[in-house]
Chains A and B, each alone.
With several copies, the nearest count.
Chain A
Amino acid sequence: MSQEQKVKHLCNVQWCKGCGICVMICPQKVLALDDLGKVKVVNQDQCNNCKLCEFICPDLAIEVVVTGQ
């Protein structure tokens, strides 16, 4: 990741069913489940934008977007 670029996770907690698959699949341990059992980002900086979480989520509840120039 170039420093100018920022990875952002759009998590749709309305859609997330808390299965934890994204948490398991993330090679960088970026994600976790919150108290209500919904996905949350805990290590934003570690994210390498591999999008595995986005591709595997069965509920289409995560989108990984790159912002910044």
Chain B
Amino acid sequence: MAAKDYIRERFFPHLWCPGCGHGTVLNALLRAVESLGIGKNEIVMVSGIGCSSRISGYLDFHTLHTLHGRALAFATGVKLSRPELNLIVPMGDGDALAIGGNHFIHAARRNIDITALVLNNRIYGMTGGQYSPLSGAGVLATTAPYRNIDRSFDVIKIAEAAGATFVARSTTYHARELAKIIKQAIEHKGFSLVEVMSQCPTYFGRKNQQGGALEMLQLFKEQTASIGSKAMQEHPEIIGRGVFVNKKAPEYCQEYEAIVARATSA
């Protein structure tokens, strides 16, 4: 199936701003799914609320557009009901880690087989550019006119600490790598998390004098490097890209099968 067969063409051109990184994530996701050859009926995409969460409307899967922050809780209900389906959950940084932080750490803890994508534009895009828990100190936002003092989560660390068994990061500049990592994440059995650094030129870029989409993408290029690369070793301030965690651990739905076995044999 060609990548385009996975989208709902009638909703294109989509509603994201020109140069919004979320479109590139959509693009990469399509490639990942295409390369895995998964049928459209075998994927359930669950999203919350935010610019990022719009992604579900554009894709021709089973799509569940839920409440702000709650996508993973809905997805848990779907997945436990139908473990054979592939659950993909794209979220914004606010969606996943502000209001949705609790469901995030608990889904990771359970190691339930869901592929979570955090489209990290370091801002609440949908509501007009307020700071998020991933904005980081020093950033300007509509609710941080004197520069943000909130420290940022390290998504990679917190996902790992909470129990995620696949944890990775890429950016919209590295579209090909991104597609590959998303593919790996979908293949992984257990809770997988991909943080995607994505540009919001409309709010983050403009407010923070980072210029438009092009300049922001350049920054993604300059400020990141593959983990383990020489660049990273030499410049510790550089942000790592790649797969940080990839390990085996009991998956929740499989463990639930064990409960059923114990209950029915008793």
Residues of A within 8 A of B (CB): 14-21, 24-25, 52, 55-61, 63
Contacts and interface: CB of A to CB of B under 8 A. Distances in A.
B155 interface: no
B213 A57 contact: no
A58 B16 contact: yes
Contact of B20 (A15, A24, A56, A58): A58
B179 interface: yes
Given A14-B13, A24-B214, A57 B27 contact: yes
Interface of B: 3-4, 7, 12-14, 16-24, 26-28, 30-31, 172-173, 175-176, 179, 212-214, 217
A15 B17 CA distance: 12
Given A19-B213, A21-B217, A56 B27 contact: yes
Interface pairs A-B: 3 shortest CB-CB = A58-B23, A19-B19, A17-B18
20 contacts: A14-B12, A15-B12, A15-B13, A17-B17, A17-B18, A17-B19, A19-B214, A21-B19, A21-B217, A52-B175, A52-B176, A55-B27, A55-B179, A56-B175, A58-B22, A58-B26, A60-B12, A60-B23, A61-B13, A63-B4
B4 A60 contact: yes
A14 B16 CA distance: 14
Nearest to B17: A17
B16 A20 contact: no
Contacts of B28: 55
A69 B55 CA distance: 37
A24 B109 CA distance: 37
Contacts of A63: 4
Given A56-B24, A63-B4, 5 more contacts: A19-B18, A20-B213, A56-B173, A60-B4, A60-B12
A59 B13 contact: yes
A15 B26 CA distance: 14
B24 A58 contact: yes
A28 to B, nearest CB: 16
B188 to A, nearest CB: 22
Contacts of B3: 60
Contacts of A21: 19, 24, 213-214, 217
Contacts of B20: 58
A16 B13 CA distance: 8
A25 to B, nearest CB: 8
Given A19-B18, A52-B175, A57 B12 contact: no
Contacts of B172: 56, 58
Contacts of A15: 12-13
